Amino acid sequence: MPGGSQELYANLHREISGKLFTVTVLDRNAGFARRVYSSCPETYPVSGTKPMAQGAWTDQVIVRGETFVANSVAEFAPYFADYAVIETLGCASALNVPVGQDQVIGTVNVLDVAGFFTPERVRHCEHVIAERLTDVIAVMTAEQASL
């Protein structure tokens, strides 16, 4: 893809918006997700990892490939160990959109103020990603290969 993965992810961020925007790629064999893009690299650096914990979030997003929406810290705190850090960035809602075809290979993660993710905004985010799905999968697959 011309311009590379960082440009593609930055363009997604511009179109989707969000105070905090990250992209993660899964390494199922090692059992972790690696951050490959971050709009806040001071707090969430690229190449940071987190374990792929088992539970309701993983079942929904990674196993079933369904978008996760939480419009308050209370809704995402049970799943995000770093919820207090997220709050300090002024974020109190979260959206995680799985990416893949036969299997989820990564997620696009958007965080913003409480109540931000209306049904219309969720559809918009999913639509923007779907429009670029071929490119997003291509760059995520390349990132996966380098893990």
Using one digit for the tens of pLDDT, what is the confidence trace for 123-147? 999 999 999 999 999 999 998 888 7
Domain encompassing residue 113: 4-145
Residues 12/132, Cβ–Cβ less than 8 Å: yes
Strand, coil or helix: what is 33? strand
SS3 27: strand
Q: Which DSSP symbol is given to 65?
A: -
* pLDDT, position 3: 56
Mean pLDDT for 24-28 is 93
How far apart, in whole angstroms, are the C-alpha atoms of residue 106 and residue 142?
12
Mean pLDDT of the chain: 93
Q: At 58, is the secondary structure helix, strand, or coil?
A: helix
Say how many domains are in the chain: 1
pLDDT at residue 50 greater than cutoff 70: yes
- Domain containing 114 — which CATH number? 3.30.450.40
Q: Which two tokens stand for residue 68?
A: 């996760």
Q: What is the pLDDT of residue 72?
A: 98
